Amino acid sequence: MFPLVKSALNRLQVRSIQQTMARQSHQKRTPDFHDKYGNAVLASGATFCIVTWTYVATQVGIEWNLSPVGRVTPKEWRNQ
């Protein structure tokens, strides 16, 4: 019984998907905001982030706490 039910459900799902696609293909859809400006907004946002982080990393003067190897010498032990 299980294979029969499974095949019936698969056929039902395939038909509903085909009907949905047929319905969508017949509709004339006007471009919305995302279709018109989506790529421009994405590109400008990425450019803004890259420029901002480049400025922060190079010009603000943040000490990035890089590795102290070779710059720090250990202090001598004091006996008490």
The residues, ordered by sequence, that sit 6+ positions from 62 with a Cβ below 8 Å of its Cβ are 56
pTM: 0.46
| pLDDT per residue as tens digits for the range 39-48 | 999 999 999 9
In the CATH scheme, what is the code of domain 32-58?
4.10.51.10
Q: By the 8 A CB rule, do 62 and 56 touch?
A: yes
10-48 as b/e, with b when 16 or more CB fall inside 10 Å?
A: eeeeeeeeeeeeeeeeeeeeeeeeeeeeeeeeeeeeeee
| pLDDT per residue as tens digits for the range 9-60 | 666 565 676 666 666 666 667 888 888 999 999 999 999 999 999 999 888 8
